[in-house]
Structure 1
């Protein structure tokens, strides 16, 4: 971290802490703020916090020195989880922002790739600023107020969030390795120069630190002020519910089942499950009742062709989508009961209008769907899809394309919110944790509210724990499809990737290359992200032998 962070207090604050007031949406004329000024009062500490909030979705060159316009942080990192595991399937050969290279496993397996470098430094950038607030508040002589405790709670939560992201990507999975000896990531607590680094701590040590930070955050929030304001911008601020949600994720990933159950139940309190209309509205706003946490992306700081929806939503007016509509695994879609309304956002019979489609079946001349007996019917179906979903003339269609993720203004490049945590995930965590505890009936009851809300004919008749586990995996994949959970789920379940099995996913083997079939994480260390070579070169406490 040395080269990247040695100038952070001088440069980074000048960039990221230029935003505050009203409801944290308007800019101030501030050009720079020093570390001492940042800790002068609660208002300035909130500015530091707002910088972290904005940094979640800003282009990385505006967040830390050495960043790059090709990654807008969580706009990329969130859908990457489903891009890597073949849940979000590419239908054609498009490589804007290295999205195809990431899908082919040619990014996270290369220590010099932009993807591993920027993910590493973005997460440590969060830690740097969280450390500044934590150290400043806990070591300072401040009058304790609810507002100050809320800032402290958010700082501890952010540090836990960043370390959990780092250890889950740059180390072997807790449940499939030996956490007491497996190398994790460096634990850093400094916020002042010189920014000396540390060796890699063990996975267990990193997880223990995350747990301590989560408990400190909860204690601070319990004495803190609630989220300020209302509307989608309010959910950009962290609160105790977000902390409990992260605690549930952390506990599930390490096999602390009882803690996962308790934290998941607490996290979702007050967040009503979505109704059908809202579930189908596109997952583009923090205003949705289920959203516990998300970035509210404002017009003034849109990332244009760097956004989540540019990479994942078939309504975005960008070449990555127009030329390469994203499709879902047909094995998943074909398994959705007719009584489950979530199936309506996938179009198995969409005509393949793309003559450059990877499967070679694009255009009427190559049509293989007996539903269309004439070119007129084929073209009419394409026109209907475009009209229904607001696509422009250049958008291609493809069988099994999705419209789960839709812009509020389809056919544009307008920004939309990036959702990180929903109540549905908490029901799934509780159900899985109870199943792992051997409580099949408890697991079924934990899943019931979500499953019955989505499927009017959902049946709770499961012959065994294994049968229910397979169904629970289906629920995870369907409910949170496109929201980035594929990578961590595969590692926790120790599940490989096989696009050829059970009739095939619909992905092209020619396009997917070596990523078409990948062995499970416990026997394939390619699931672990490479540490950036720049970090190996700059950090005196890391050597080539530390490389994953």
Structure 2
């Protein structure tokens, strides 16, 4: 802790220099501060390059930029079982194999995020804020702050170790004193030397750091009108604040000790460079979560319509008014030598392509969990996103589904296969067209669900149930038949999670909810459609071991102050 506080104090005094992950370990592809001096309009170039960091290819078979990381998260849960494991690029998460610090999940995730953070930091270092800073330059700063907050939110959730219920892991975490620790905070002021000696920030500092970035971004993006869905505007900032306040609300409701730790450090001198949260209870956080979720919606966003959802050429591959933020890929991004022909999101999530592995040739079809599918009511129009077991293989059921396939091809798909994602423009063969898609990072639907969940906590269970019922009957049930039967807060949280598992199937969202709510991942049950070797259940009331991501061993080799999470490989019931 003393080492962390020393680092914070220094950050307030340091001069902007090269930042981010260790250059000698993870050489970046972006500008260095020295190159900035030789570049015209460098702030603009750097700011526009930040979304490009989301396309950074990793070494693992399935690691194709941020979408590949989202698939990692998705396959750690129970939402998208694979039909055939032969070409499953996410077997590590399925078998619970090779999840330690020297394997691809660890060694791809860590440099991905710090490369993104580095690009943000370089932009921030290039734009000094004065009374003469232009609105255009302030927007560059706002985008960089927003993306940096996005990265740190992901990392704080993914890397903070949470109890698993397995003694061999939890006891080691206790002995190593890593409970409550997230990741190192590296800003535009962090020097190369400091990045070899920094420590994992405690949660109470990380929350304030992220919120400060979001507060500043909200201010600098006032009036900014973006031109593409991969740039951050105020609606995205509001959405991120809603996520962060919900995260804190859940945490502090579960742990009064953590709440008191957050409050007790409110006036720490070392943290004075960060904005105070000004909270006294979990309900303060829930109220703010609902407030910011509503603000995000009010910036011109609304849920995906049924027509948009089931559009066979643009469905979930082209940003629309429901999307607050997206990864955007064009053909020029698919450089030679990067294996884009098979390392791409469409090739792993859409069954309608001939490239990739989720297709009729390689049969790595992504399905919906059978138990989850059975909970989807008949009135919920999303149900026909996946093939009903009663319809599988029957050409006379073909007309119920939206697909680019002809009836005979469609009939070769197994039960539960997902038809949510489509190649762009209906192009099933040319990956440079079909895989050049937009991929959602944040949608309005999440804001409605955050609002409903938060209201249940600070206004009462009935208020939350009413908000959820209104949302679903307005936007997801044709016949207005949805009824929430939860009688307890825990039951209501389960229902919110169920809705997220349906709504955000394949989008990598629910990983954060599993960890936040400490919900078990269930793959083994009668009638399970998960491959036999993947049928592991985690413990109720705890976090799945695989969801406590290990720091890359490359990073710990160069920074002896970083204590890693216990290796979760092969730890399951």
1:92 equivalenced with 2:90 (yes/no): no
1:473 equivalenced with 2:497 (yes/no): yes
Rounded Cα–Cα distance in structure 2 between residues aligned with 1:3 and 1:247: 23
Structure 2 match to 1:505: 528
1:169 equivalenced with 2:167 (yes/no): no
Give 1:545 shift. 8.3
Rounded Cα–Cα distance in structure 2 between residues aligned with 1:461 and 1:520: 22
May I ask how many residue pairs the two structures share in their alignment?
485
Structure 1 match to 2:72: 80
1:295 equivalenced with 2:327 (yes/no): yes
Structure 2 match to 1:327: 367
Give 1:438 shift. 5.0
Residues 387 and 168 (structure 1), Cα distance of their counterparts in 2 relative to 1, 3 Å cut: closer
Structure 1 match to 2:263: none
The gaps in structure 2 that reach 5 residues or longer are 1-17, 250-284, 335-339, 569-573
Rounded Cα–Cα distance in structure 2 between residues aligned with 1:395 and 1:55: 39
Rounded Cα–Cα distance in structure 2 between residues aligned with 1:3 and 1:214: 19
TM-score normalised by the chain length of structure 1 = 0.79
CA contact (8 A) 2:60 2:105 kept: no
Moved more, 177-186 or 517-526: 177-186
SS of the equivalent of 2:367 reads: strand
Structure 2 match to 1:457: 480
Rounded Cα–Cα distance in structure 2 between residues aligned with 1:317 and 1:385: 23
Structure 1 match to 2:123: 133
Structure 2 match to 1:110: 100
Structure 2 match to 1:153: 142
Tell me which of 380, 384, 387 is aligned to 1:340.
380
Structure 2 match to 1:371: none
Residues 460 and 517 (structure 1), Cα distance of their counterparts in 2 relative to 1, 3 Å cut: closer
Give 1:56 shift. 0.5
Tell me which of 535, 539, 546 is aligned to 2:559.
539
CA contact (8 A) 2:87 2:364 kept: no
Give 1:524 shift. 5.4
The gaps in structure 1 that reach 5 residues or longer are 17-32, 61-66, 353-377
TM-score normalised by the chain length of structure 2 = 0.76
Give 1:264 shift. 0.6
Residues 307 and 390 (structure 1), Cα distance of their counterparts in 2 relative to 1, 3 Å cut: same
> Which digits, 9 at most, give the CA deviation of each residue in 1:229-253, with x for residues without a partner?
3xxxx11111111111111111111
Tell me which of 468, 477, 501 is aligned to 1:447.
468
Rounded Cα–Cα distance in structure 1 between residues aligned with 2:383 and 2:476: 10
Moved more, 445-454 or 292-301: 445-454
Rounded Cα–Cα distance in structure 1 between residues aligned with 2:184 and 2:34: 26
SS of the equivalent of 1:540 reads: coil
Structure 1 match to 2:256: none
CA contact (8 A) 1:129 1:191 kept: no
1:203 equivalenced with 2:243 (yes/no): no
Moved more, 403-412 or 41-50: 41-50
Rounded Cα–Cα distance in structure 2 between residues aligned with 1:520 and 1:427: 27
Rounded Cα–Cα distance in structure 2 between residues aligned with 1:124 and 1:253: 22
Give 1:118 shift. 1.3
Residues 209 and 283 (structure 1), Cα distance of their counterparts in 2 relative to 1, 3 Å cut: farther
Rounded Cα–Cα distance in structure 2 between residues aligned with 1:335 and 1:277: 23
> Which digits, 9 at most, give the CA deviation of each residue in 1:249-287, with x for residues without a partner?
111112121111111111112112222110222643343
1:404 equivalenced with 2:417 (yes/no): no
CA-atom RMSD, angstroms? 3.5
Residues 351 and 344 (structure 1), Cα distance of their counterparts in 2 relative to 1, 3 Å cut: closer
Give 1:339 shift. 1.6
Residues 40 and 3 (structure 1), Cα distance of their counterparts in 2 relative to 1, 3 Å cut: closer
- The 5 A counterparts of 1:170-189 are 170-173=159-162, 182-189=180-187
CA contact (8 A) 1:284 1:407 kept: no
Give 1:493 shift. 1.8
CA contact (8 A) 2:402 2:419 kept: no
> Which digits, 9 at most, give the CA deviation of each residue in 1:178-216, with x for residues without a partner?
999522111112467535311111122212211111111
CA contact (8 A) 1:82 1:485 kept: yes
CA contact (8 A) 2:74 2:509 kept: yes
Structure 2 match to 1:483: 507
CA contact (8 A) 1:39 1:45 kept: no
> Which digits, 9 at most, give the CA deviation of each residue in 1:298-320, with x for residues without a partner?
11113331112222222232352
Structure 2 match to 1:251: 245
Tell me which of 213, 235, 246 is aligned to 1:241.
235
- The 5 A counterparts of 1:347-366 are 347-349=387-389
Structure 1 match to 2:266: none
CA contact (8 A) 1:175 1:254 kept: no
Moved more, 194-203 or 156-165: 194-203
Rounded Cα–Cα distance in structure 1 between residues aligned with 2:19 and 2:303: 45
Residues 395 and 521 (structure 1), Cα distance of their counterparts in 2 relative to 1, 3 Å cut: farther
Give 1:426 shift. 0.3
Structure 2 match to 1:226: 225
SS of the equivalent of 1:328 reads: coil
Larger proportion of strand: 1
Give 1:477 shift. 1.5
Rounded Cα–Cα distance in structure 1 between residues aligned with 2:567 and 2:77: 23
Structure 2 match to 1:277: 307
1:268 equivalenced with 2:297 (yes/no): yes
Moved more, 333-342 or 379-388: 379-388
Give 1:135 shift. 3.2
Rounded Cα–Cα distance in structure 1 between residues aligned with 2:428 and 2:557: 44
Residues 300 and 429 (structure 1), Cα distance of their counterparts in 2 relative to 1, 3 Å cut: same
